[in-house]
Structure 1
Amino acid sequence: MPIKKTIRYTIHWLYKIIYQSSYAIMSKCRPINEKKVVMSLYRSNKLEGNLKAFYNEVKKLHPELEIQLIHPSNKIGYGMFKEIPHFCDAKYIVLDDYYLPVYLIHPRKETRIVQLWHAAGAFKKFGYSTVDTKFGSDRKYLEIVPVHSNYTHVYVSSEQVITQYAEAFNMPKGKIYPLGIPRIDYFSDEFYVKEIQQKLTKSLTVEQQRKTKILIAPTYRANAGQRETELNFSVELTNILKDIDSDKLLIFVPHPYVNKKELQPLLDLQHKHQEQIIIGENFSINEWMLVADAFITDYSSAVFEFALLKKPLAHYVPDLPEYQKNRGFYNSIENISDGTILTNSKQLLHWINERRTGEFYNTDRMIQYNFSVTSNVTKGIIEHLMNYPE
């Protein structure tokens, strides 16, 4: 092992020992607060998606609970020690993504660590499924920091994906429950849908409102040596924008973790072509889905949620062989998605220009595979969690 890596891992070991000890000492000084719920907001500075749905439903069903929102650093350093007092006495720790502190400790047996993973279905590989790949962590690091460990409850969208999540989180299947994705409850909330549609419409110009709206949301791509491929959606769209029909509006929603430099080509275009392309960062991808007429991604699991709306969807994947080699999939796109597969910019341009407002797209097969529950999801999860035997 290279000397630099050996030194870094040694530092991580020492940090872990100190962190575990600090947590253990503070836990002995504080009894479990049976009413305390800690929610970690890592993907966004505000409540969104699964955490927002869970928060709102808990407040309604269990107003006696005390919910505390934290904004984790998830980086080895002094900052993580300041988080220990917030979660060491919590009955519930609720996550929707990676949360480093709980992987470094020996949790109290009374604490329930709940993972409301932010993705539906099981598309591209992650976690322990990518060990020793270009994208994933190496085994030596995972011996020190067992990522995704200590979850007591993991809620996923479908019974068909339990095996994949058990592999990704390196955990027993018996702790993974196919009760659904909380945020899809918003799709069936008529008041919410109408309110968001009005807000989104007001954010557009009159001319933009008249256009067929194509929502575009690529998945996150790692940086530097972990980068799966060199595909840049911003550049791809820049190259075809001049040939896109004038009655189309492209709504590009970047992944929360995207490097802002990668958006520069589109930001430049947005200034020149304000009526034809916008960067939709002010609203979430699920909110934009409610006004979009069609959806394009590469490998984002958001495509499964969009399928619930029965509108056209497509995968732009000119880098498919390279992505498969460097990261891989749990299942082929054709098996888990009804979306059209586009492999070059000419096909992408044609698919966009073919779209019309109000099109219906049959996604029944896709929904059946990727969702076991599609209504009252959040309530079902909370009831399951709160009534779970000690």
Structure 2
Amino acid sequence: MTHILVSYLKELYSVVVRRLSKKNKLKPVIKRVCYLMSFPNNNQGLIEAVSYEQQVIVLYKKNCLEEVKQLESFGIECINLDTVSGFIKGINCLCQSQVIIADNYFAFLGDITFKQNQTVYQLWHATGAIKQFGLEDKSAAKRSEKDKNRFIRVYESFDYVFVASKKMADVFRRSYGFSKEQILFTGFPRTDRLCQRIVKQNSNKRRVLYLPTYRENEPVETWLLDIKKVADSLKNEGLLQVKLHPHVELEHINQTNVDWISSHESADEYIMQADVLITDYSSVAFDFTLANPTGQLIMYWPDETKYRQVTGIQPNIEADFPQPVTHTTDDVIKQLTNYPMLEGNKLFNALWNTYNDGQATNRVLDEIKEVLDGEK
């Protein structure tokens, strides 16, 4: 019964979007940028930079409220997609905007008939990819044919995708079915800040940051690092900083060298200050090596076999990492205590952060301007 209801609601959703799109068919396209925002801190100044020269309207999901407040202080119009009135207004805005930039998969894009003089860009919310997504996502194979067709319609709605490397270009060609002509090697605007060599806070302790990926319906003990054991191994020489997903319920151990970061706080500042990052399938790995060329990246995959089966991992990506993947807390501790000074991050960045050189925002702005001015 639930399955039937969900299927009906999805179809109703599509019908509403298609009707709104049809209603806008004869309306002229306005010279402006419409930005679809579902990830906070993904544009890092791009929207403000565009707004200096062009009209910008932001369509946002409620998890981006803090960033929206800042954008509104710049006089940028922001529309909440999570309200009925905002959703209708947002779809009308999309149908009439010359340039559309999306930071994620938005189901309604597949039900909008865009005009010839409209251009839709994908500005993905991650610099690189460890887990598989899109057409390669293992879980997508279990979805209904209607769902699969909807996924493909959304992927086909994009004209171009911004990437930072040939590696990520290959991922998008496999995951979204993009052609090489749809790939724009600009880098990611949000990484420009990571390229600035921030002066680290004075500390005689080694900062170890642990950022695990959230697993839905998976017991915490099957994938979480033994935090106490790692903290004990660091003794007084290191500080272990831990940031978990808001949905993870875990009793915090009270230890002097463990710092629990609020789940609602941005990890960006901590990434830039860290000496070591421990993570699993998160794209923060690419951010960390860019911000910390001499830092230590430790990949912890305790549930690798199951993760490969359920979600999927990018082929042979483990060969790109500066160090071998670990599977136990003891392996993590060994890498922490026996870290040779290698040039692993340099090679990793060359593969995945090729165009993240501090000038990505300028290249994206040039692309948008070219389209708005009718030069492309």
Q: Is it true that 1:177 corresponds to 2:184 in the alignment? A: yes
Q: Is it true that 1:318 corresponds to 2:302 in the alignment? A: yes
**TM-score (norm: length of structure 2):** 0.81
Runs of 4 or more above 4 Å deviation: 73-79, 131-134, 227-230, 280-283, 353-356
Question: Relative to structure 1, is the Cα distance of residues 353 and 291 closer, same or farther in structure 2, using a 3 angstrom cutoff?
Answer: same
Q: Is it true that 1:366 corresponds to 2:372 in the alignment? A: no
Question: Relative to structure 1, is the Cα distance of residues 22 and 88 closer, same or farther in structure 2, using a 3 angstrom cutoff?
Answer: same
Q: Take 1:347 and 1:142, find their aligned partners in 2: how far apart are those partners?
A: 40
Q: Take 2:25 and 2:206, find their aligned partners in 1: how far apart are those partners?
A: 56
Q: Which runs of 5+ in 2 are unaligned?
A: 63-80
Measured after TM superposition, the shift of residue 274 of structure 1 is 5.3
Measured after TM superposition, the shift of residue 292 of structure 1 is 0.7
SS at match of 1:166: helix
**TM-score (norm: length of structure 1):** 0.78
Instruction: Find the counterpart in structure 2 of residue 33 from structure 1.
Output: 30
Measured after TM superposition, the shift of residue 230 of structure 1 is 7.0
Q: Take 2:249 and 2:165, find their aligned partners in 1: how far apart are those partners?
A: 33
Instruction: Find the counterpart in structure 2 of residue 377 from structure 1.
Output: 360
SS at match of 1:94: strand
Measured after TM superposition, the shift of residue 9 of structure 1 is 2.2
SS at match of 1:245: helix
SS at match of 2:92: helix
Instruction: Find the counterpart in structure 2 of residue 293 from structure 1.
Output: 275
Q: Take 1:345 and 1:370, find their aligned partners in 2: how far apart are those partners?
A: 27
Does the Cα contact within 8 Å between 1:312 and 1:360 map onto a contact in 2?
Answer: no
Does the Cα contact within 8 Å between 1:214 and 1:296 map onto a contact in 2?
Answer: yes
Q: Is it true that 1:20 corresponds to 2:18 in the alignment? A: yes
Instruction: Find the counterpart in structure 2 of residue 251 from structure 1.
Output: 241
Match of residue 214, structure 1, among 208, 230, 241: 208
Q: Is it true that 1:262 corresponds to 2:248 in the alignment? A: yes
Code of the residue aligned with 2:237 in structure 1: it is D
Matches of residues 1-390 of structure 1 in structure 2 within 5 Å? 4-28=2-26, 30-34=27-31, 36-44=32-40, 48-49=41-42, 51-59=43-51, 63-72=52-61, 80-130=87-137, 132=139, 137-144=143-150, 146-189=153-196, 193-194=198-199, 201=201, 209-221=203-215, 223-224=216-217, 231-233=222-224, 236-238=226-228, 240-254=230-244, 258=245, 260-265=246-251, 268-269=252-253, 272-273=254-255, 275-279=257-261, 281=263, 284-308=266-290, 309-310=292-293, 311-353=295-337, 361-375=343-357, 376-388=359-371, 389-390=375-376
Number of residues paired by the alignment?
351
Q: Take 1:298 and 1:108, find their aligned partners in 2: how far apart are those partners?
A: 41
Q: Which runs of 5+ in 1 are unaligned?
A: none
Q: Take 1:140 and 1:339, find their aligned partners in 2: how far apart are those partners?
A: 42
SS at match of 1:113: strand
Q: Take 2:144 and 2:56, find their aligned partners in 1: how far apart are those partners?
A: 36
Measured after TM superposition, the shift of residue 247 of structure 1 is 2.3
Deviations 1:306-351 (A, max 9, x none): 2222211110112111211222222223322213421111122333
Does the Cα contact within 8 Å between 1:94 and 1:116 map onto a contact in 2?
Answer: yes
SS at match of 1:20: helix
Aligned CA-pair RMSD: 3.1
Measured after TM superposition, the shift of residue 278 of structure 1 is 2.4
Deviations 1:19-65 (A, max 9, x none): 2112221453x42220x222222123xxx13x124224434xxx221
Does the Cα contact within 8 Å between 1:114 and 1:154 map onto a contact in 2?
Answer: yes
SS at match of 1:52: coil
Measured after TM superposition, the shift of residue 240 of structure 1 is 4.4
Question: Relative to structure 1, is the Cα distance of residues 173 and 10 closer, same or farther in structure 2, using a 3 angstrom cutoff?
Answer: farther
Instruction: Find the counterpart in structure 1 of residue 68 from structure 2.
Output: none
- Aligned-residue identity in percent: 19
SS at match of 1:341: coil
